[in-house]
Amino acid sequence: MSTTKKINSALISVFHKDGLEPIVRKFNELGILIYSTGGTEKFIRELGIDVIPVEDVTSYPSILGGRVKTLHPKVFGGILNRQDNESDVAQLEEFNIPQLDVIIVDLYPFEKTVASGASEQEIIEKIDIGGISLIRAAAKNYKDVLCVSSVEDYQEFLELMNTNGGETTLEDRRKFATKAFNVSSHYDTAIFNYFNKDHHEGALKISETRAKVLRYGENPHQKGFFFGDFEAMFTKLHGKELSYNNLLDVDAAINLMNEFKNDDPTFAILKHNNACGLATRSTIHKAYVDALAGDPVSAFGGILISNVKIDKPTAEEIHNLFCEVVIAPGYDEDALNVLKGKKNRIVLIQKETPLPEMLVRTCLNGFLLQDKDFKTDKLQDLDYVTTKKPDPRELDDLIFASKLCKHTKSNTIVLAKNKQLCASGTGQTSRVDALNQAIHKAKSFNFDLEGAVMASDAFFPFPDCVEISNNNGIKSVIQPGGSIKDQLSIDFCNENEMSMVMTGTRHFKH
């Protein structure tokens, strides 16, 4: 039996009518019999094209406020019958069931309804029953039936009709079946995750239907893919395609700058997911210049991000640096012209888009899932544990350093002064190593640490870190506390006129 089949009949039942008209007119041109229901039937009839109501086939009206329309043996028999099975064909004739060659279904917009903040009742009513059943049935029987399961596939299907004159191959039908099962599995995942928001059911279901093939993964010999809606977060104005490593750095940059979203102009420079420069100033130009001063060596090839619109003077400074990506909420036109002077430099506008509330990563032969660290240390969280209290400037710097510390790889120590990153020790196996690394780096770039502050992502088990910081002119410290030996560090600070505050919140980042 030939695997090429001529389309003689089609059932259309869709939510979105956009893009449907050309398909319906093509069916009419080719003499294809059209069955339909409800609003879709009315839409087709208003085009002046003949359509057979499904009720005429089933001899049963749409009931329960439209909840039951197509759920009937005469519909599903027409979809699920096997054309190479004599018994199936005989039963179609016996029960007067029409063969259905194409099913076009567009599901109720469940995810959009949830995202709109609709009531639970409205959300429940957008759980499609008949549509999802039609999709699964038609996709299962792809040997005989072609299923168009999304408005996004209308154009491809229309091109297929125009090219092949109303005929489909087994390859065509299997391809559309794959799309259909993608739609149905994603839909069911969204519904499950809505009902399982509190994770009472111990199951992890992730579905993302938008995919991008990257040039490669972390290294050229690794394959890489991005699954997500990049365009919902950014408008790309210029530059080459983002790489796997670019995307990881952009993610780190966005999460860090969210801490400074409502602050004075702030600029950050990141490399390998860690900030090598950060400053808050009265203008974005000053913020960039002082962020770059934090580590002009590491900034080469980095990711740059601003919390305010970038102007021309700032763009001209940036243009002197080789950087991979620039991110901002906007750009002055003359600034954008400057940044476009390097053809490969990626320039992004960040949009207001909610980020995931959960973090997922592979681990062993499974996955780890955790809440995102949304806790930002604030003045009201601080416990003033030493006799000497930080002065207002030191308090500003302590909060500044703590925000950055939260987004730096553990073990980490951050040194800051006047809302500028002096240096950080990142990803060290001991906190003392992290502090020594930060001090060495700060001094190598000629920072005066007298009056600087120190932030730690976790507690000090011994007073060695506060002792080292004191020896280098650092007189104010912020840390979570919680060690059984906290008092040793407190005593050292009191004996050396240092101030220390504790937040009660650890910010490990592995």
Known catalytic residues are 140, 272
Sign (positive/negative) of CA torsion 5, 6, 11, 16?
positive
Pairing label, strands 146-148, 102-106: parallel
Assign 3-class secondary structure to 153-172. HHHHHHHHHHHHCCEECHHH
Instruction: Kindly give the interhelix angle for 73-80 and 86-94, rounded to the nearest 10 degrees.
Output: 150
**Contact criterion met (CB below 8 Å) for 322 and 315:** no
**Contact criterion met (CB below 8 Å) for 414 and 455:** yes
The pair of three-digit structure tokens given for residue 140, joined into one six-digit string: 């299962």
Helix (H, G, I), strand (E, B) or coil at 367: strand
Cβ atoms within 10 A of the Cβ of 134, count? 26
d(CA 265, CA 202): 44
The pair of three-digit structure tokens given for residue 275, joined into one six-digit string: 């900030």
Q: Where are the alpha helices (DSSP H) in 81-222?
A: 86-94, 110-115, 120-125, 130-140, 154-164, 170-195
Helix (H, G, I), strand (E, B) or coil at 385: coil
The pair of three-digit structure tokens given for residue 123, joined into one six-digit string: 């959300």
d(CA 155, CA 229): 21
d(CA 111, CA 127): 10
Contacts of 474 (CB under 8 A, 6+ apart): 415, 449, 452, 453, 454
**Contact criterion met (CB below 8 Å) for 367 and 361:** yes
DSSP 233-280: HEEEEESSPPPHHHHHHHHHHHHHHHTTTTSSSEEEEEETTEEEEEEE
Contacts of 195 (CB under 8 A, 6+ apart): none
With CA atoms as reference, report the closest residue to 502 among 345, 338, 381, 383.
383
